[in-house]
Structure formats: C-alpha cells, structure tokens
Amino acid sequence: MLGRRRVHSAAAVGLLLGACAQIIGVDSLEDEDVEDPQIIRAGGGSTSDGGEGGEGEGAEGGEGKGGNAGDGGETSSTDAGAGGAAGAGGEGMAGDAGSGGAAGAGGALPSCGSVTEITASFFSIDPTSDASGHHYYMLSSSLGSSALPDFLNLEFYAPLGASEGHTVALEGPPENDYATCSHCVFLETDYDSSDNTVSGVFFAASGSMTIAAGSQQLGGAPDLTLSDVLLVEAEIAPNTFETTFVPNGQCLHLNGATLDVSGRSWSCDAAYFGDGLLCDCGCDVGDVDCQNGSEAACEVCNCDPDACFVGDPTQCVPLGSWTCNPAYQGDGECDCGCGSVDPDCPSALASDCEYKLCPSGNVVADNNAICDDWTCNPSWYGDGDCDCGCGIVDVDCASSSDTCEFCWCSSGNCTVPNNLCDWTCSRGYYGDGFCDCGCGALDSDCQDLDAASCEACWCPGDHSTCDGSVVSNDNTACN
C-alpha cells in the first residue's frame, strides 16, 4: 500500500519559485532591467487548442513606445496557451513584456480501454496520521478478489492539503500526480496486508473534491465530497512517486462519495492496525486487515465484554444490548433474538416476534431477546471466530469437525461435533436420524433426555439395542 507521507517544506516552496523565475527567463522575481524581453508562455495545463494570446501592453521606451502584442503561438497537445509577444521598445530602454494571454483549455484525459462504475464509503483512518499528513480509507465496491479488500485512498499533505471552504480540481497537475499532489485520490485493488502488496493502482485523472468550510482533513475531521471522479490505471515509481497513466488502460468512475468520519479514530492498540495477522473489530473504525466491513470478516473483537455490533463490527455494545443490525431496531417490525427486546415488539413474548434472528429461528418463549439454542454469548455467533460447545455449530466453523478457535465447555473438552461438549461416540452417529444414547451429550435426534427415547445405546454391553444401561432420566450418561 502506498503511503508517501510527503511534507511541503519552506525550502521546497523556494525551489518552486526559483523554477518559475527560470521559466520566464529572468534570474530572480525581483524587478530589474532586461535587455531583450522574452516571450512569456502563460496558460493552464496541457491542451489541444492553446488559448489566444492577449494583447501586449508595451511600456513606453526611451524614445518610442511598445508595439501591440502578437497573437499567441500554436501549442502542442501538451503546451499551455501562448502569451502575447512583448511590444517592441523604441530606442532606449526596452518596453516591458506584454501581459500573458489567456490560459489554454485543460489537456485531454488519458484514454480508457473500459470504464467500471464503483461506490465508496468511509472505512478507516491510518493511526499514524498527524498534522503533516492524513490518510483515510474508503471501502470500494469489490473489483478483484473477494478475499481481499479494495480501498479508495484519500491523502492530504500540509500545507496546501489543509485548505477548506473551496473546490479542488483533480484534473491536471499538481493533483494528478502522486509526487506532487496535496489532495491525493487513488484506488488500490486487492490489498494484502500480510505482505503490503496490491494488484493494481488507479489514480484520479479528473473530477472534483468540494471541501466544506471548517473541514479539518489534517485533524481527523474532514467534511468533503467527491464528485464525478475518473480513476485511471496507473504506474507509480517506487522512489520518486511519479505517476504515469497506462495508455488505453482500465478506468473506474465514482459518481460521488462523502468522507464523513464523525470524530471517529482508531481506538485499539496502533500495532494491531494493518498488522497482516488478524481482522480486528471493535476499534471504532475498520482494520485494513479485514476483507470487508461485515461482521463475518472479524477475527478478533477488541471489546469488553467482547461484544461487537453485528451490523457495524467497528462498534462495541455491552452484553444485553442490541446485537443485530442497528437498522433493525425500531424499524417498525418486531425483531427477536437480538440481545435486547426490540421497541417494536408489544412484549418480550416469542409470540410477538415478526422476525426471529437466531441460527435455528427459535427464541426463548418468555424472553424474545435470547435465542434458545445458542448457549454462548449471542455476539459470538458469526463473529469471525469458530466458537465451540455452544449448542449448535457456529457459522464461522467450516463444519462440525472444524478445529475450534474457542471452546466454551466447562470441562474444556470440545469434541466432534464441535457444537457439543464431551460427545464420546462416533461423530457420524450425531444427527444421523437415530437417537444415540450414552454418548456424553444429547443427540439432536433424541426428543428428550429420557432413556425411553433411545434407539441405540453405546454404554459397555450395549450397541444397537439398549438394555437399561443408560441413566433413566439422562440418556447421555451410563449407569
């Protein structure tokens, strides 16, 4: 992933002024006599039709007066519009140069082999950002591998990147080059935090960024909107950061996006951000190690007591609080199995539920906030970790025989199938259509714990038939 962290220094500005002086053919920007006035080439960025030169205003010479400026010269596809020629001085001191002509129109955009529409929404802030440079991540609609994220990057560098209350054009220099931009917009596909690589880079070649008055993009509180942004496949030099657009390359178009951080920042240990190891959730903003912004991508929930919002895994909620998508709470429908009773429900009874958001679709009869089959913390179901011993198989486990990441059995013995504690029989017997008894845990095929429900018993001496060796009121145990 790129990260230029460039700072505009006073020395750099001085070098820029010096370069400008050389362009206009003088040794410095201070007033001094010039024997042969030079033609000033003014104008904007690259153009196919240079602007017409303005009329020069020759200064009065020693004994004559300056002539009118000539028309601007023709320009190439990369030259700015020409300024008018200097008026000819009379005998004596040369007349001053004529004023520059109007700038030529902006140059043609890089050609596109194809254009793909994308969307983007705020995802994270690099915790190493400071007053000299801020790096924001917006999660793009998926373009490459579904297993790796695509990030629209917005980087701002002081001092020009701190400007607010105006619109920045992304077309043309300095903003269309990573080596010179102060408001940098580029997209990286398939970011792999394990080795800090991407499969492709697209740099903004046109569009605009409207920065509201009071925006503090260098202080972690941006208020800005991107509009009609064309991102073009590009190559960026690793040491100089000079950007070269790929001719007839792939292009991406972003119709619009708003960077709304709302005062959020990385709240976990900075070492966890983009460490290439685990997708950390509950950190107020996203981790670039995550495949996407869903709860299914989470591998660690950095909350106490380890409960992350299902709808927004960057947020923490205490036990007993809402654990489903926040948008479902108070949406006019009674959603159940969400950790707390939905205000849309007339009561806490299961009979009032319109939606039962539980793995099995069942909730406790007199408390519709709780699922009746998942026996562990509700927030652990589908949190990105394979939790075992919780009554049913966690969706984060590839199968009932998957290796557990967390075992919640009091004995610490999570067996196969991994939703049970202490299952001692062959894993193939569990849920095979027959009520198997004497297996240390209740078979899902058994109606209850009564020995009368048993169809096969696996206590010493019993096999396919039962001879009374299981406990009469607990068919998981042997006498």
Q: Is 13 helix (H, G, I), strand (E, B) or coil?
A: helix
Q: What is the mean pLDDT of the chain?
A: 76
| Residue 356 falls inside a structural domain | no
Nearest CA to 106 among 173, 156, 177, 52? 173
What does DSSP say about strands 335-336 and 355-356: parallel, antiparallel, or unpaired?
A: parallel
Domain stop point among 260, 286, 317? 260
| Residue 460 falls inside a structural domain | yes
pTM above 0.75, yes or no: no
Q: What are phi and psi of 11, to 5 degrees?
A: -60, -40
The whole domain housing 170 covers 112-260
* Structural domain total, the chain: 2
Give the pLDDT confidence of 445-472 residue by residue, as tens digits: 888 888 888 888 888 776 666 777 889 8
Nearest CA to 125 among 115, 135, 117? 135
| Residue 268 falls inside a structural domain | no
Share of the chain above pLDDT 90, in %: 35
For residues 416 and 428, the answer to whether their CB atoms sit within 8 Å is no
Residue 222 one-letter amino acid: P
Give Cα 165 distance to the centre of its chain: 25
The pLDDT assigned to 262 comes to 78
Whether 29 shows a pLDDT value over 70: the answer reads no
Q: What is the mean pLDDT of residues 105-111?
A: 68
Whether 239 shows a pLDDT value over 70: the answer reads yes
The pLDDT assigned to 376 comes to 81
| Residue 120 falls inside a structural domain | yes
Domain stop point among 196, 228, 260? 260
Give the pLDDT confidence of 31-45 residue by residue, as tens digits: 333 333 222 222 333
Domain stop point among 260, 281, 308? 260
| Residue 196 falls inside a structural domain | yes
76-85, 279-288, 330-339, 378-387: segment of lowest average pLDDT: 76-85
Question: Hey, which of 55-64, 78-87, 408-417 has the most confident mean pLDDT?
Answer: 408-417
| Residue 90 falls inside a structural domain | no
Share of the chain above pLDDT 70, in %: 71
Give the pLDDT confidence of 167-178 residue by residue, as tens digits: 999 999 999 999
| Residue 187 falls inside a structural domain | yes
| Residue 474 falls inside a structural domain | yes
Report which of residues 20 and 256 the model is more confident about: 256
Give the pLDDT confidence of 400-427 residue by residue, as tens digits: 667 888 888 877 778 777 777 888 887 6
